[in-house]
Amino acid sequence: MTETVSYRRDGDIGIVCIDNPPVNALSHSVRSGLMAALEQSSADDSRALVVHCAGRTFIAGADITEFGKPPREPILGEVLARLDAHDKLTVAAVHGTALGGGLETALCCHYRCALPSAKVGLPEVKLGLLPGAGGTQRTPRLTGLETALELITSGNPMPAPRAADAGLVDKVIEGDDLLAGALAYTRELLDGEAPLRRASELPLQLDDAGRELLATARERLARRTRGENAPQRIVDCLEAAATLPFDEGLRRERELFMACMEDPQSGALRHMFFAEREAAKVQGLPRDTATQPVDTVGIIGAGTMGGGIAMCFANAGIPVTLIDMSDEGLERGLGLIRKNYATSVKRGKLSQDKADAALALIGGSTDYAALAEVDLVVEAVFESLELKQDVFRQLDGICKPQAILATNTSYQDVNAIAGVTSRPQQVLGMHFFSPANVMKLLEVVRADASSDTILATAMAVAKRIGKVPVLAGVCYGFIGNRMLRHYQREAQLCLIEGATPAQIDGAMERWGMAMGPLAVGDLAGLDIGYKARQGLTTEQKGDPRSYRVPDLLVEQGRLGQKSGQGYYQYDPETRKRSDDPAVMAIVEAAAEELGVERRAISDDEIISRLTTALINEGAHILEEGIAQRPGDIDVVYAYGYGFPRHRGGPMHLADHLGTGAMYETVCRYRDTLSADNWQPSELLAKLAAEGKTFAEWQRER
Active-site residues: which are they? 431
Smallest separation (angstroms) from ligand 3HC to the CB of 257: 7
Which residues of this chain interact with ligand 3HC, rule CB under 6 A? 22-23, 25, 60-65, 76, 97, 99-101, 104, 123-124, 127, 129, 131-133, 135, 277
DSSP letter, residue 201: G
Of ligand 3HC, ligand NAI, none, which one does residue 303 interact with (CB within 5 to 8 Å by kind)? ligand NAI
Pairwise CA distance, residues 433 & 523, whole Å: 14
Pairwise CA distance, residues 81 & 638, whole Å: 38
Residue closest to 121 by CA, chosen among 108, 137, 141, 107: 107
Contact by Cβ (8 Å): 32, 75 = no
Smallest separation (angstroms) from ligand NAI to the CB of 421: 16
Q: Is 323 in the site for ligand NAI (CB under 6 A)?
A: yes
Q: Is 329 in the site for ligand NAI (CB under 6 A)?
A: yes
- Which of 34-37's residues contact partners 24+ apart within 8 Å by CB, and which partners? 34/1, 34/5, 34/79, 34/83, 34/105, 35/74, 35/78, 35/79, 35/82, 36/1, 36/2, 36/5, 36/7, 37/1, 37/5, 37/7
Longest dimension (CA), the chain: 91
Contact with ligand NAI (CB under 6 A) among 302, 475, 615, 633: 302
Q: Is 559 in the site for ligand NAI (CB under 6 A)?
A: no
What crossing angle do the helices spanning 101-108 and 76-84 adopt, rounded to 10°?
A: 20
Contact with ligand NAI (CB under 6 A) among 409, 628, 659, 665: 409
Contact by Cβ (8 Å): 472, 466 = no
Instruction: Give exposure, 43-65, as e/b (b: 16+ Cβ within 10 Å).
Output: eeebebbbbbbeeebbbbbbbbe
Smallest separation (angstroms) from ligand 3HC to the CB of 157: 8
Whose Cβ is closer to ligand NAI: residue 443's or residue 617's? 443
- DSSP secondary structure, 264-309, as one string: HHHHHHHHHHHHHHHHTSPTTS-TT--------EEEE--SHHHHHH
Pairwise CA distance, residues 430 & 167, whole Å: 44
Contact with ligand NAI (CB under 6 A) among 43, 382, 386, 597: 382
* Alpha carbons within 13 A on the beta-carbon side of 356: 3
Pairwise CA distance, residues 500 & 591, whole Å: 13
Q: Is 380 in the site for ligand NAI (CB under 6 A)?
A: yes
Q: Is 33 in the site for ligand NAI (CB under 6 A)?
A: no
Whose Cβ is closer to ligand 3HC: residue 129's or residue 583's? 129
Q: Is 304 in the site for ligand NAI (CB under 6 A)?
A: yes
Of ligand 3HC, ligand NAI, none, which one does residue 76 interact with (CB within 5 to 8 Å by kind)? ligand 3HC
Q: Is 462 in the site for ligand NAI (CB under 6 A)?
A: no
- Angle 437-442-447 from CA coordinates, rounded to 5°: 135
Contacting range for ligand NAI; rule: CB under 6 A; set: 92-100, 382-390, 601-609, 626-634: 382-390
Contacting range for ligand NAI; rule: CB under 6 A; set: 154-162, 191-199, 402-410, 620-628: 402-410
Smallest separation (angstroms) from ligand NAI to the CB of 450: 18
Smallest separation (angstroms) from ligand NAI to the CB of 547: 19
DSSP letter, residue 238: H
Of ligand 3HC, ligand NAI, none, which one does residue 63 interact with (CB within 5 to 8 Å by kind)? ligand 3HC
Whose CB is nearest to ligand NAI? Answer: 303
Residues contacting 408, CB < 8 A, separation 6+: 305, 306, 309, 378, 379, 380, 429, 430, 431, 432
Of ligand NAI, ligand 3HC, none, which one does residue 62 interact with (CB within 5 to 8 Å by kind)? ligand 3HC
Pairwise CA distance, residues 579 & 304, whole Å: 29
Q: Is 526 in the site for ligand NAI (CB under 6 A)?
A: no
Of ligand 3HC, ligand NAI, none, which one does residue 80 interact with (CB within 5 to 8 Å by kind)? none
Contact with ligand NAI (CB under 6 A) among 46, 266, 408, 457: 408
Contacting range for ligand NAI; rule: CB under 6 A; set: 66-74, 201-209, 383-391, 485-493: 383-391
Smallest separation (angstroms) from ligand 3HC to the CB of 58: 10
Whose Cβ is closer to ligand 3HC: residue 112's or residue 489's? 112
Whose Cβ is closer to ligand 3HC: residue 96's or residue 566's? 96
Of ligand 3HC, ligand NAI, none, which one does residue 429 interact with (CB within 5 to 8 Å by kind)? none
Smallest separation (angstroms) from ligand NAI to the CB of 562: 13
Residues numbered 569-598 forming contacts with ligand NAI, rule: CB under 6 A: none
DSSP H helical ranges for 10-86: 28-43, 76-84
- DSSP secondary structure, 111-179, as one string: EEEE-TT-EEE-GGGGGT---TTTHHHHHHHHH-HHHHHHHHHH---EEHHHHHHHTS-SEE--SS-HH
Of ligand NAI, ligand 3HC, none, which one does residue 61 interact with (CB within 5 to 8 Å by kind)? ligand 3HC
Q: How far is CA 504 from CA 9, 202, 649, in A?
A: 66, 51, 19
Of ligand NAI, ligand 3HC, none, which one does residue 434 interact with (CB within 5 to 8 Å by kind)? ligand NAI
Q: Is 305 in the site for ligand NAI (CB under 6 A)?
A: yes
Contacting range for ligand NAI; rule: CB under 6 A; set: 188-196, 200-208, 276-284, 297-305: 297-305
Mask: binding to ligand NAI, 419-458, rule CB under 6 A, as x and -? -------------xxx------------------------
Of ligand NAI, ligand 3HC, none, which one does residue 495 interact with (CB within 5 to 8 Å by kind)? none
Of ligand 3HC, ligand NAI, none, which one does residue 381 interact with (CB within 5 to 8 Å by kind)? ligand NAI
Residues contacting 556, CB < 8 A, separation 6+: 586
Which residue type, as a one-letter code, is found at position 393? R
Residues contacting 192, CB < 8 A, separation 6+: none
Contact by Cβ (8 Å): 75, 30 = no
Contact by Cβ (8 Å): 399, 370 = no
Print the SS3 string covering 365-425: ECCHHHHCCCCEEEECCCCCHHHHHHHHHHHHHHCCCCCEEEECCCCCCHHHHHCCCCCHH
Pairwise CA distance, residues 8 & 596, whole Å: 79
Of ligand 3HC, ligand NAI, none, which one does residue 185 interact with (CB within 5 to 8 Å by kind)? none
Contacting range for ligand NAI; rule: CB under 6 A; set: 32-40, 325-333, 355-363, 587-595: 325-333
Whose Cβ is closer to ligand 3HC: residue 2's or residue 105's? 105
Whose Cβ is closer to ligand 3HC: residue 269's or residue 417's? 269
Which residue type, as a one-letter code, is found at position 268? A
Which chain residues interact with ligand NAI by CB under 6 A? 300-306, 323-325, 329, 333, 380-383, 387, 391, 408-410, 432-434
